[in-house]
Chain A
């Protein structure tokens, strides 16, 4: 009696509670929950040793290391450049600022397959950037560096778009107070501004990292998908599916899903922290 899930707390003059809640739950169940539950159903057809053997096979282990490492590097680089881009967009005026601001969302809007073939050709041996790097002995296409570049491309907007609003809302009084107390500009940035941006930077980092872990379309063309070297985890799943080995594909999918759900939880906590920071600032 004490637990009434999905029950209104008090009566409302507004209509449609049952109808809209019913449809919301029905559609959510049909499209998201039942299909996702199928992953765990399919995994249960494997015995524990089979499951363990599949998720720890050498190609899979190599793919986790690669996917994790490349995503971590890409998200870290984006924290630095994303912060600079957000800073420049919020604090300075320059010609074409509005266009640049709109363009930041390009990786969200550009289909991943288009980004994939473009980066692969651009950094390929005869591509605009590739032919400049080849004489220097730097190979990008079909290497882990290529995967890193693709993941940097898709992760950029996450950092900029989480840091930008927080930077806009920072109160100038805090910086003025620090400056009038004798702090130089660098000290103000390092001791006053950066600590206030930290929750937003971490949230952006986690969002970019989570997106990079599951990314497929923009990576496969530039990666070359060489087993043990440039095969990301989604490619392993795809390869098992092509061999119609659904149980193996699903086992590796479970590892990815559990990782993403843990990350989702972390992101929720981080966002709560960011928002709490903002509201305490206002008070």
Chain B
């Protein structure tokens, strides 16, 4: 939108738009931003993949085919496979009750849902040790040395069922750290959409479930997917919380991030980066999907407005 400059051949600076910066400042700012991002984001990303293949493709695939690596991959998938659907159901429930009804204590509920985000990962693991660990709250009931419920302690012992330093603890810690993701995406979205469409469906005779499946779900599907993507990325990548509850038994209670730490501590750097490259690839996939969903969501909103 600078028509004057071409017709009168005056110096460009004189006709610069009053609310834009001189070209030199512009280039300087773009240069600063890109240099900073290159140094802090691009370089580490490139580094992960170069180090992963530093010892060649053979070593790369040998590292990933190792039974301990394979068990870590399976455990990570299992923990995310349980945590993400559970938090998804919770997110939809919480968003439904907060967006579609008026009740006292709503703001308290909103703050409590966000609570896990403000807790340090190490403390997120610690709290489950305090509840289920040998010296813990429930540990007093479950511990075989002095059980309050001997039958329960015996049953758990016979079935070799442990929570802390075992898989259930890892799943619980993963659920805790990814708790707010889906709810947090859906609540503002459903609040903005209001309740008129659902009310219309109900008045026209749809049942509660029909209303949810045919009216609400199609409206929130992109927001739901967005929350699921972010929730999954965190679930698969969580380190601090899982490190506290896992006990780090190789081949049994090591998730992928913990396996990376174990390899790194063994000075097997190429191996650590080989496993890390899988998670870095997951991160790139997450960013790609996220951008795609944002684009789809914008398109969805635009057709809504024009209709």
Where the two chains meet, the residues of A that have a C-beta atom closer than 8 Å to any C-beta of B are 3-10, 12-17, 19-21, 23-24, 27-28, 31-36, 38-39, 41-42, 81, 84-85, 87-89, 91-92, 94, 98, 100-119, 121-122, 127-129, 152-153, 156, 172, 175-176, 179-180, 185, 188, 210, 213-217, 221, 234, 237-238, 241, 244, 246, 249-250, 253, 256-257, 260-261, 263-264, 268
Contact = CB atoms under 8 A, between A and B. Distances in A.
B120 A256 contact: yes
A118 B47 contact: yes
A31 B272 CA distance: 32
10 closest Cβ contacts across the A-B interface? A111-B237, A214-B120, A15-B208, A216-B240, A217-B239, A179-B18, A113-B257, A35-B127, A109-B283, A38-B130
A5 B104 CA distance: 5
B227 interface: no
A3 B299 CA distance: 44
B260 A35 contact: no
A14 B101 contact: yes
Contacts of B19: 172, 175-176, 179, 185, 188
A88 B29 contact: yes
A39 B30 contact: no
B112 A33 contact: yes
User: Interface size class for chain B?
Assistant: 35 or more
A256 B126 CA distance: 12
A45 to B, nearest CB: 10
18 contacts: A5-B104, A14-B101, A23-B93, A38-B130, A92-B29, A111-B236, A111-B237, A111-B238, A113-B257, A113-B258, A114-B257, A180-B18, A185-B25, A216-B121, A216-B243, A241-B129, A246-B129, A253-B122
Given A32-B112, A237-B122, A113 B130 contact: no
Nearest to B122: A234
B40 interface: yes
Interface of B: 18-22, 25-26, 29-30, 32-34, 36-37, 39-45, 47-48, 51, 86, 89-90, 93-94, 96-97, 100-105, 109, 111-116, 118-123, 126-131, 133, 135-137, 172, 175-176, 179, 195, 198-199, 202-203, 208, 211-212, 230, 233, 236-240, 243-244, 256-258, 260-261, 264, 269, 272-273, 276, 279-280, 283-284, 286-288, 290-291
